[in-house]
């Protein structure tokens, strides 16, 4: 059975799917066809119901919940891992309303959190997440919402943190911040979804047990990322919640969906 599988080139995703895509674990009769794009492109694909299985932002999930089922394995959530609001200049949080703000996509969790905590914003400019630091340094925007590995690189480039959106969420909810998850089309059926869920969990565990073998695959997609940044990225975004949400992870996702649902209505 052929299944299209969408995920990003970020280290946490390539780490998760290495074993699954390279015949390191029994595939259960599935052939996974990878579609590798940035998370906002995957969000849009999910909204169009393009892929059988896909990574997507939790902020996009409420809009496709009738079509896709969130899997227990593969999610990115945790503590101290949320999006950051940064700038080249010293800008107070009160001044954000008068700023042009770069966001990593309209449907991202990062944009949802920014909108929630800074509702009076002036001008928003969606762009690829990896372009936001340069846009700030080139004075194309005043403020940027950064995700992924940029939280490890912005200070080295002379940029300043204005707010930690994940920290604001954790303070409000006392729960981990759900960033993105893996969802499968409900039309695949319970047996297939359950099997895929199990395969993803096995793929993650294989990667942890065979780091030397997995890392070259991760490096292949991480572009010019420094190895230490790559490791920081994996350590932060691939954790126990990724193998299985568990009760605490499910409670965090449920809370996020409740809040986002009330925001949409």
- What does R_g of the chain's alpha carbons equal in angstroms? 18
Q: Tell me the pLDDT tens digit for each residue of 5-42.
A: 999 999 999 999 999 999 999 998 999 999 999 999 99
Please give the CATH superfamily to which domain 84-173 belongs. Periplasmic binding protein-like II (3.40.190.10)
CA distance 214 to 230: 12
* pLDDT of the residue at 262: 66
Q: Tokens in use for 202?
A: 């096995």
The C-alpha torsion from 10 through 75 and 160 to 111, rounded to 10°, is 100
* pLDDT of the residue at 265: 43
Q: Which residue among the candidates 122, 148, 210, 233 is catalytic per the annotation?
A: 148
What average pLDDT values come out for the chain (265 residues) when binned by 10 residues? 96 97 94 96 97 97 96 94 94 90 94 92 87 95 91 91 95 95 98 97 97 94 83 92 96 93 58
| Coil vs helix vs strand at 70 | strand
Judge contact between 113 and 52, C-beta under 8 A.
no
The segment(s) of the chain belonging to CATH 3.40.190.10 are 2-78+178-264, 84-173
* pLDDT of the residue at 6: 98
| Catalytic residue flag (residue 148) | yes
pTM of the model: 0.92
β-bridge partners, 124: 101
Count CA atoms within 13 Å of residue 265 on its CB side.
Answer: 8
* pLDDT of the residue at 130: 87
Under CATH, what is the fold of the domain 2-78+178-264?
A: D-Maltodextrin-Binding Protein; domain 2 (3.40.190)
Beta strand spans in the chain (E): 2-7, 31-36, 53-57, 68-70, 76-78, 84-87, 100-103, 123-126, 143-146, 160-164, 177-185
* pLDDT of the residue at 235: 92
DSSP class of residue 63? G
* pLDDT of the residue at 131: 93
* pLDDT of the residue at 205: 96
């Amino acid at each position: 059975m052929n299944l299209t599988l969408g995920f990003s080139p970020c280290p946490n995703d390539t780490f998760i799917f290495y074993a699954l895509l390279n015949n390191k674990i029994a595939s259960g009769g599935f052939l996974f066809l990878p579609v590798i794009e940035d998370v906002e492109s995957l969000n849009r694909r999910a909204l169009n119901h393009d892929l059988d299985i896909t990574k997507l932002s939790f902020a996009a999930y409420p809009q496709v919940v009738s079509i896709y089922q969130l899997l227990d394995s593969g999610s990115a959530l945790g503590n101290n891992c949320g999006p950051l609001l940064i700038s080249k200049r010293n800008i107070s949080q009160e001044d954000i309303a008068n700023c042009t703000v770069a966001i990593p996509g309209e449907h991202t969790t990062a944009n949802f959190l920014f909108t929630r905590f800074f509702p009076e914003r002036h001008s928003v400019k969606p762009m690829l997440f990896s372009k936001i630091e340069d846009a700030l340094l080139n004075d194309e925007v005043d403020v940027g919402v950064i995700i992924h590995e940029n939280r490890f690189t912005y200070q080295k480039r002379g940029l300043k943190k204005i707010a930690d959106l994940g920290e604001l969420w954790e303070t409000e909810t006392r729960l981990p911040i759900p960033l993105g998850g893996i969802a499968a089309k409900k039309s695949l059926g319970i047996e297939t979804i359950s099997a895929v869920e199990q395969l993803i969990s096995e793929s993650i565990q294989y990667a942890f047990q065979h780091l030397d073998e997995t890392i070259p695959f991760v490096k292949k997609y991480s572009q010019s990322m420094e190895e230490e940044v790559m490791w920081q990225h994996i350590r932060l975004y691939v954790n126990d919640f990724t193998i299985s949400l568990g009760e605490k992870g499910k409670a965090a996702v449920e809370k996020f969906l409740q809040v986002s649902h009330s925001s949409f209505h």
